[in-house]
Amino acid sequence: MSGPTSQTAGAVLTIDLEAIVDNWRQLKARVGSAECAAVVKADAYGLGAAQVAPALAAAGCRQFFVAHLDEAIVLKPLLPAAATVSVLHGPTPGSEAEFVARGVRPVLNGRSQIDAWRRLAQRLDRELDAIVQVDTGMARLGLDAAELQGLASDAQSLVGIRVSCVMSHLACAEQPAHPANAAQRERFVAARRMLPPAPASFANSSGVFLGPGYHFNLVRPGAALYGIAPVQGSPNPMRPVVRLEGRVIQTREIGAGTAVGYGEGWRSERPTRIATVSVGYADGWLRRLGNRGMAWFGGVALPIVGRVSMDSLTLDAGVLPEGALSPGSLVELIGPYQGVDAVGNAADTIGYEILTGLGSRYARSYVGSAA
Ligand SMILES: Cc1ncc(COP(=O)(O)O)c(C=O)c1O
């Protein structure tokens, strides 16, 4: 069976590869002489790593980050030989040899990953490349202060490991005035002094906008490539990337006092028209958007009324002239009138969660040339 097409699917998801490439170029221009990588984990934040990563490689991107080895195994053959794929979570115990076999670089996040990587290097009798991550204030991944001290005082600990980069990750970068940013930076600079000299990587998308002091040698943006606003409370300088249009299945006229959807989640105060759209929470259109989110048609906002169902949602389309919407019409769910950040806000979450949650039933189309 072939995949959903724009005729048969309940919604059409259009991804603009040229906008992604432009966003990468913009970030690259912002970091001057530092290198700009691309974070393409979680299937390029839901947008399709198999399409996104080669487009970025064609534009000159040479460093790619994913979370899992499995993601790297799929990605590696799609990229030029000169491209490096790094795995943020590092090797799960026993998977180290697979990294070498696949030509994939691990991020080593703690002493046990470092020790296992060193033992493999000794067994293979060759130097093995790796990134070493230090924790500077997230307590999520990376060497903590005690591990770093232990590593620095053990001359054998990194024998056989070529540390090609030292990295850390910012916790609060989207809030430029947050004191954690400078505090993490200070800890990062101190941590680097305790490790073999190596290029450094610190900034995610938002970190790029904290200024040159945060760029070091390699930046690792993800979200901003995909059009998500990198700085809280500031205009979004990135090009929008995603358009999601849901298909109307049916419209109906209802009288005042009519209950709509599960749990009678909404009741009309006046006669109006309901449009039922073929997108629901199984498609990543969060249930939380019931009675809160909206869709757009011809520049007119249509509130989601009642609860979002598994496969559909209901709009109050009473403001539109009769016949404006009919079965097959497409309404905008993400697009020029409502960006992905706005959808995240309406759902009490972030654009990241909206993008990575987009379902598999959409007809996907990629536009924009790759290079
Ligand atoms: C370690 C690491 N670096 C970089 C990124 C990219 O961050 P962003 O999408 O905010 O640019 C992530 C994403 O979560 C990450 O976990």
Please give the number of the atom of ligand 1 that sits closest to the Cα of 45: 9
Diameter of the chain measured on Cα atoms: 79
pLDDT of residue 4: 77
The pair of three-digit structure tokens given for residue 118, joined into one six-digit string: 């060193």
Residue 224 and residue 190 in contact, taking contact as beta carbons nearer than 8 Å: no
Tell me the pairing of strands 300-303 and 294-297.
antiparallel
- Dist CA 32 CA 103 (whole Å): 29
Indicate if ligand 1 lies below 6 Å from the C-beta of 169: yes
pLDDT of residue 371: 46
CA-closest candidate to residue 92, choices 76, 109, 77: 109
Cα-to-centroid distance, 204 and ligand 1 (Å): 5
The pair of three-digit structure tokens given for residue 236, joined into one six-digit string: 């979004």
- Dist CA 368 CA 371 (whole Å): 9
- pTM of the shown model: 0.96
pLDDT of residue 370: 53
Q: How many residues does the chain have?
A: 371
Q: How many helices (DSSP H) and strands (DSSP E) are in the chain?
A: 11, 19
Sequential pLDDT tens for the chain (371 residues) = 457 777 788 999 999 999 999 999 999 999 999 999 999 999 999 999 999 999 999 999 999 999 999 999 999 999 999 999 999 999 999 999 999 999 999 999 999 999 999 999 999 999 999 999 999 999 999 999 999 999 999 989 999 999 999 999 999 999 999 999 999 999 999 999 999 999 999 999 999 999 999 999 999 999 999 999 999 989 999 999 999 999 999 999 999 999 999 999 999 999 999 999 999 999 999 999 999 999 999 999 999 999 999 999 999 999 999 999 999 999 999 999 999 999 999 999 999 999 999 999 999 999 996 54
DSSP secondary structure string for all residues of 88-144:
TT-PPTT-HHHHHHHT-EEEE-SHHHHHHHHHHHHHHTS-EEEEEEB-SS-SSSSB-
pLDDT of residue 2: 59
Residue 38's Cα: distance from chain center in Å? 10
CA-based R_g, the chain, Å? 24
The verdict on whether 41 is a catalytic residue reads: yes
Cα-to-centroid distance, 44 and ligand 1 (Å): 11
Please give the number of the atom of ligand 1 that sits closest to the Cα of 88: 1
- Dist CA 186 CA 41 (whole Å): 28
User: Which helix (H) or strand (E) segment is 338 a member of?
Assistant: none
The DSSP call for residue 204 is -
The DSSP call for residue 172 is S
Indicate if ligand 1 lies below 6 Å from the C-beta of 173: no
The residue contributing the CA closest to ligand 1 atom 14 is 222
**Catalytic annotation, pick one of 28, 45, 226, 262:** 262
- Dist CA 142 CA 166 (whole Å): 10
